[in-house]
Structure 1
Amino acid sequence: MLKRRGRALLAIFAALAVLVSPALAMRVSPMVVEMESRGSSAVARIEVQNINPGNLAFQTRVFRMEFDKDGKVVETPADDQFLIFPPQGVLAAGGRQVVRLQWVGDPELAASQAYYVSVEQLPVAFEPGATETVGAQVQVLYNMRALVVVAPPGAKPQVKATSVKAVTYQPPALPGATDLPPMQDGLEITLRNDGRRHAMMANFGWLLEGTDKDGKWLRVDISPEELTRAVGTGYVPAQGERVFRIPVPGFGPGPVKLSFKQ
């Protein structure tokens, strides 16, 4: 029974993970960077790769992110919090550039702070005569973002589930879709982090135990890979909370216990 439920759960997560993705002109890796405000971990690197057949010009910008409990983000410019080298560049086809990040903000942070390092493609001049041979040309410029979180050295997260309940909810529209998906039965989970360090809760397996709608015992295991498809990194800010809605149907109105496992 659990194996059948596991396959059904995987199918649900796979359906939610469908994306409409154009061919990108560049890659940025890693997409998640964890740093500290002092010491050797106050320096990190990301790599920009040009996968376009022509030259790729780019620049970097930094934004501070502040999350509310539903995951909505307020962004503010924060270029002054990092020293970035090089801040811009031009890559030939297939070229790579390592971009060095150094934290120059407050070395004595009270709690983790989250940022986006935005790598923005810049327009480049067309080759002479190109417009005459192929007609009018349009450039599509891409913007990729890496999540960068800076934490106090030695700080740790302290995450617990304060609420887990069965709900019927509206999933967000998939990228490129014009209509909302149908209403979904699942669970609404509130996670509270009382620690001074952020938490990436999709790094853990989640074990859910409770009763189904007929009052029978029900257990569902969710792997880190499934969670990543459903909730991304599962980021919970330091000294804050997040509400996640996940497509796990079958639980009844009774209490549901959530525990985490490596």
Structure 2
Amino acid sequence: MYQRHSCLKPIIAAIFLILIATTATAFTFMPMSTTISPSGANSIASFRITNDSSQQIAITIKATTREIDENGNEINAPADNQFAIFPTRIVVQPNSFQNIKVQYKGNPSLAKEVAYRIIAEQVPIDFSQQQTSGVKVMFRYIAALYVAPPNVSHKIAVTKVEYGEQEGKKGFFVTITNSGTRHGLINDPVLKISGSLSTITLKDEALNAINGQNLLPGNVRKFFIPCEDAVPGKSYTGSLTAKIE
């Protein structure tokens, strides 16, 4: 079943689920972003789960696909059949760690980079079997995994600008497309919007909606940029410069 949720600004996210139970335990999951090859020795990623608590914890590992729609919502579906994950279920002893191997088993002849999520989730098991009051915090880490063939690159550009209004504010609806073969993370963008007689330059806080966004290969994103100088009925074009990772 597909799942849809809001795409967070950073490449990675740690989501904390609070459940009623006994005591609180925690773990770390690293790295939170990595890239592997579609075949060969470099098709394997290594992750490490570290349990810094005084209690043993149970963890499950799974893989999902990763797509982002025009409005920035991330769509995920199970992808465990495209990976060999070992182990998928583990118990990590107190103050110790466990390494996880994730090997890509999908199409070995990819034409472009494909994005996935590797999710490590704590399972609510009370090993002590003692009934005490309190709150148990269950940790869920969502890491970014990219499977990339050689010589991929991003190609990010503004493909459409039009006047619009949102929540009572005038501005522009700006469409940005990544027509390349690799994801691109936009940092410190500067947007120039040109009309028939003038050019408007926007940057810094004016582009909070764009700054930090991750465009996957083939991704088309639409952003609303507030601007009091926007005029309805006029034709606009745009260009974007940024530090793109």
User: CA, structure 1 residues 24+192, in 2 after alignment: closer, same or farther (shift >3 Å)?
Assistant: farther
Displacement of 1:107 in angstroms is 0.7
Name the structure 2 match of 1:55.
Answer: 56
User: CA, structure 1 residues 231+117, in 2 after alignment: closer, same or farther (shift >3 Å)?
Assistant: farther
User: CA, structure 1 residues 142+261, in 2 after alignment: closer, same or farther (shift >3 Å)?
Assistant: closer
User: CA, structure 1 residues 184+58, in 2 after alignment: closer, same or farther (shift >3 Å)?
Assistant: farther
TM-score normalised by length of structure 2: 0.70
- 2:84·2:102 contact (CA, 8 Å) conserved in 1? yes
Displacement of 1:159 in angstroms is 2.0
User: CA, structure 1 residues 260+211, in 2 after alignment: closer, same or farther (shift >3 Å)?
Assistant: same
Report whether the alignment pairs 1:87 with 2:93.
Answer: no
- 1:158·1:193 contact (CA, 8 Å) conserved in 2? yes
User: Matches of 2:96 and 2:204 in 1, distance apart?
Assistant: 39
From 178, 192, 200, the counterpart of 2:184:
200
- 1:164·1:257 contact (CA, 8 Å) conserved in 2? no
- 2:113·2:183 contact (CA, 8 Å) conserved in 1? no
Give the alignment of 1:212-223 within 5 angstroms: 218-222=200-204
User: Matches of 1:59 and 1:28 in 2, distance apart?
Assistant: 12
User: Matches of 2:95 and 2:169 in 1, distance apart?
Assistant: 43
| Per-residue Cα deviation, 1:83-136 (whole angstroms, up to 9, x for no partner) | 2223222223443333222211111013322211111111223425x32xxx45
More strand by share: 2
Could you list the runs of 5+ residues in structure 2 that have no partner in the other structure?
1-8, 10-14, 19-23
From 142, 146, 149, the counterpart of 2:146:
149
Give the alignment of 1:106-145 within 5 angstroms: 106-127=107-128, 130-131=130-131, 135-136=132-133, 139-145=136-142
Name the structure 2 match of 1:209.
Answer: 192
Displacement of 1:34 in angstroms is 2.3
User: Matches of 1:34 and 1:237 in 2, distance apart?
Assistant: 13
User: Matches of 2:31 and 2:105 in 1, distance apart?
Assistant: 21
Report whether the alignment pairs 1:160 with 2:142.
Answer: no
Alignment-mate amino acid for residue 190 of structure 1: T
Alignment-mate amino acid for residue 49 of structure 1: T
**Partner secondary structure for residue 145 of structure 1:** strand
The RMSD of aligned alpha carbons is 3.7
**Partner secondary structure for residue 162 of structure 1:** strand
Name the structure 2 match of 1:244.
Answer: 223
- 2:118·2:145 contact (CA, 8 Å) conserved in 1? yes
User: CA, structure 1 residues 136+21, in 2 after alignment: closer, same or farther (shift >3 Å)?
Assistant: closer
User: Matches of 1:168 and 1:185 in 2, distance apart?
Assistant: 5
Name the structure 2 match of 1:25.
Answer: 26
Displacement of 1:77 in angstroms is 1.2
Could you list the runs of 5+ residues in structure 1 that have no partner in the other structure?
1-12, 14-18, 171-182
* Corresponding residue pairs, total: 221
- 1:122·1:141 contact (CA, 8 Å) conserved in 2? yes
Displacement of 1:216 in angstroms is 7.6
User: CA, structure 1 residues 125+66, in 2 after alignment: closer, same or farther (shift >3 Å)?
Assistant: same
Displacement of 1:194 in angstroms is 2.1
Displacement of 1:206 in angstroms is 1.2
User: Matches of 1:150 and 1:71 in 2, distance apart?
Assistant: 21
- 1:37·1:153 contact (CA, 8 Å) conserved in 2? no
